[in-house]
Structure 1
Amino acid sequence: MTQSLTGQSALVTGGAGGIGLATCRALAALGARVTFTARSAASLDAAQTDLAGIAAGVLCDITDRAALAALAGRGFDILINNAATVNPIGRITDLTVEAFSASIETNLVAQFDAIRLCLPAMLARGRGTVVNVSSGAAHRPQEGWSAYCAGKAGLAMLTRSLHLEYGDQGIRAFGLAPGVVDTAMQGVIRASGINPVSQLPRSALASPDQPGQALAWLCTQAADPLIGKELDIRDPDLRAAAGLPPLA
């Protein structure tokens, strides 16, 4: 099966750093025309420099529904729902309902909105790929992460719902848990010190290039046997298929 994405257009939310930035590079390497979102002008400028000639950035907070609708209206073949926040970190009684709601808005509602807005163009073409960046936190609670875990658990079910409702119309839906990766989010987690994940040394974290490569690979026909699944990058069969090295 082909691993080329030549002629396809891709939208990567939260593409200005970490896993998103690596995914932009990996998609472009496979021939896709890549657009990514950034929340701040500073992060957009830095990413534009890094991705010059590879991807085009757009200043867009994905919780801004009007801005997201305008962007999605361009019509994309591929959507990588990557933008997320781990905040607020704290035990349930330490959180406000406003902070919890803001987390769910970013990690679940905006992801749903991006899918909803991108689907019409995909359905009109009879094909499209949506990859939701999941997390082990979707399936295993971590102290202090009630908002993040709840949002990611909802996103995992959204992946399954998308496959159920539109899989027979050419929509390829996947969820991918990228593991513990050396990103800015992990810096926030380490600073919190609230659960075992925060105690992991930076040397134990994977490079963003690995999930970036896996996410791009899922957009190719080679990943068709895995359509509709919630995947974990630590799975040895997935790693081999995506061209990633075995875990030590």
Structure 2
Amino acid sequence: MSSELKGKVALVTGASRGLGEGVARALAKAGASVMLVARDGALAGSVACEIVSQGGRAESAACDVADYAAVEALAADTRKRLGGLDILVNNAGVIDPIAEIATSDPAAWAQNISINLIGAYNAVRAVLPGMLSAGGGRIVNVSSGAAYRPLEGWSAYCSGKAGLFMFTRAIALETEGRGIRAFGFSPGTIDTDMQVKIRASGMNVISRIPRGELSPVADAVRGLVYLCTPAGDDLAGQDASMRDDAFRGRVGLGKAA
């Protein structure tokens, strides 16, 4: 265990698998106490137990980030159980519906925005007053290259991530000089369960990337955790991308493939 984040408390959404799980484990190794949040509370709990067995401090909770009342209660519970809340990682997200606009399901389209964009807002709204009262905090919103590039079949996902990009900038603007550091983070095309669903769709160029060419989750974890430390302060209000060779160099990685 390192001590870089000793004394800090982090809340990670979408923490039961993939990038969220990796980030939760890495934050705990860096000394933070971590609340792992996912719709699948049992799976998040299993990861939290493993973190504890390895000497870390972790709790878990089931929560639908699209439900503001539930997220508000979660933030209060995190402070009660772990003694504070210094870092928020908004990682919860879905890719569905993968469909052309003309044939897409309106309810599924709205649900995507409810999770990917409104869910991130809900988490920030729930934690931000406490962070401001405490004199500071860090917020990392997991973005995507899809925020800037439309892709066939991904109209909901691209729209939500584009909104999240502007939301990150709005947080930075409204909290300037008040100790809050807000970041967007684009992990690149990484080898997660979401990519399995994307490949199965065959909908656009991303679906045709062979699994062997996907970036390892560990690289993205490294980049995101970097933003949770003071080393990333000068990037506040921006989107850091794992496709950016300058950023990769800062976190000790080689150039992007």
Q: TM-score, normalising length from structure 2?
A: 0.91
Partner Cα distance (1:32, 1:205) in 2: 29
Q: Which amino acid in 2 is paired with 1:14?
A: G
Q: Which amino acid in 2 is paired with 1:149?
A: C
Deviations 1:111-157 (A, max 9, x none): 00100110011001111000000000000000000000000000000
Partner of 2:21, secondary structure, is: helix
Residue in 1 aligned with 2:39? Answer: 39
Pair 1:197 & 2:197 matched: no
From 244, 248, 256, the counterpart of 1:247: 256
Q: How many angstroms does 1:45 deviate by?
A: 4.4
Q: How many angstroms does 1:243 deviate by?
A: 2.1
Q: How many angstroms does 1:48 deviate by?
A: 3.4
Gapped regions of structure 1 (runs ≥ 5): none
Residue in 2 aligned with 1:16? Answer: 16
Q: How many angstroms does 1:42 deviate by?
A: 4.3
Q: Could you say what the CA RMSD is over the residues aligned between the two structures, in angstroms?
A: 1.5
Partner Cα distance (2:117, 2:236) in 1: 20
Partner Cα distance (2:62, 2:75) in 1: 13
Pair 1:231 & 2:240 matched: yes
Partner Cα distance (2:240, 2:41) in 1: 33
Residue in 1 aligned with 2:92? Answer: 83
Q: Which amino acid in 1 is paired with 2:21?
A: L
* Mean CA deviation greater in 226-235 or 109-118: 226-235
Contact 2:242–2:256 under 8 Å retained in 1: no
Partner of 2:107, secondary structure, is: helix
Residue in 2 aligned with 1:65? Answer: 68
Q: TM-score, normalising length from structure 1?
A: 0.95
Q: How many angstroms does 1:47 deviate by?
A: 2.4
Q: Which amino acid in 2 is paired with 1:245?
A: G
Partner Cα distance (2:39, 2:112) in 1: 15
Partner Cα distance (1:41, 1:131) in 2: 22
Partner Cα distance (1:70, 1:139) in 2: 33
Deviations 1:45-81 (A, max 9, x none): 4423543443322111212322211111224100000
* Mean CA deviation greater in 211-220 or 50-59: 50-59
In the comparison of the two structures, how many residue pairs are matched?
246
Residue in 2 aligned with 1:140? Answer: 149
Q: Which amino acid in 1 is paired with 2:60?
A: G
State percent identity of aligned pairs.
Answer: 46
Partner Cα distance (2:251, 2:44) in 1: 29
Contact 2:45–2:59 under 8 Å retained in 1: no
Q: Per the alignment, do residues 144 and 59 of structure 1 end up closer, same or farther by CA in structure 2, a change over 3 Å counting?
A: same
Q: Per the alignment, do residues 27 and 48 of structure 1 end up closer, same or farther by CA in structure 2, a change over 3 Å counting?
A: closer
Q: How many angstroms does 1:204 deviate by?
A: 0.7
Pair 1:220 & 2:229 matched: yes
Residue in 2 aligned with 1:122? Answer: 131
Q: Which amino acid in 2 is paired with 1:175?
A: G
Q: How many angstroms does 1:44 deviate by?
A: 2.6
Residue in 1 aligned with 2:187? Answer: 178
From 92, 96, 104, the counterpart of 2:105: 96
* Mean CA deviation greater in 216-225 or 237-246: 237-246
Gapped regions of structure 2 (runs ≥ 5): none
Residue in 2 aligned with 1:165? Answer: 174
Q: How many angstroms does 1:163 deviate by?
A: 0.3
Q: Which amino acid in 1 is paired with 2:249?
A: A
Partner of 2:175, secondary structure, is: helix
Contact 1:22–1:213 under 8 Å retained in 2: no
Partner of 1:68, secondary structure, is: helix
Q: How many angstroms does 1:33 deviate by?
A: 0.8
Q: Which amino acid in 2 is paired with 1:43?
A: L
